[in-house]
Amino acid sequence: MPPSDDPDRLSEDDGRILRLESASIAGHTLKLLILEPGDGALDIEALRGAVGERLDSTPRATHRVDTCGPEPRWVPAEDFDIRRHVRRHSDPQCDSKADLWRIVGGLMSEHLDRSRPLWTFDVIGPLADGREAIAARIHHAMADGIAGVQFLDRVLFDARAAARDRAAGTVPGLHEAPRPTPLTEALRLPGAVLRELGHAGGRSP
């Protein structure tokens, strides 16, 4: 099908994904990042700030789907709040890898809120060994396949943004050389490993 002349209207494929969602079918993918142990728990406010600074690179990250008209379309989420999308998952039992898989399985089956932009980053842990994880959920209607990985690359691992931060010298309280960005310090890179969580016997959608 030729692309729509209306850039804010969902494509037929994206609209179909939304229509196929049900109590047992979720339309998002989930990527899991494992973070190596650091001096303490990941700074959620630093993570929110760094991600928020990069969202302009993906306008759909601050848009929601409006289904009130004849066709679903993207509209700005006027009440966008980064705290609803980058958050620490609260679970009293999160010590082992089995606990991590249990929590991630629950997030995988939990539908994204269509009244908000269709993505979330949930910080999980620390586990008993000090590692933490980020479960990144992205709806296929927002960014499908490789586009989802590119979204993560732009907002979590954008080297160009890191270079601009270093050149501008706008990050207070950090050492002069080398000067990490708030995000690289929060994630303790390069210890973070990006991989897609697969169900037993298959891949996540």
Kindly list the catalytic residues.
140
> Which of 29, 36, 1, 76 lies closest to 184, judged by CA?
36
Which residues 6+ apart lie within 8 Å of 200 measured at CB? Answer: none
Query: What does the DSSP assignment read for 69-136?
Result: SSS-EEEE-TT--GGGTEEEPP-S---SHHHHHHHHHHHHHSPP-TTS-SEEEEEE---TTS-EEEEE
Taking the C-alpha atoms of residue 90 and residue 92, their distance in angstroms, rounded to an integer, is 7
Q: Tokens 């691992």 sit at which residue?
A: 157
Which residues 6+ apart lie within 8 Å of 178 measured at CB? Answer: 166
Taking the C-alpha atoms of residue 87 and residue 121, their distance in angstroms, rounded to an integer, is 6
Residue 109: other Cβ atoms inside 10 A: 12
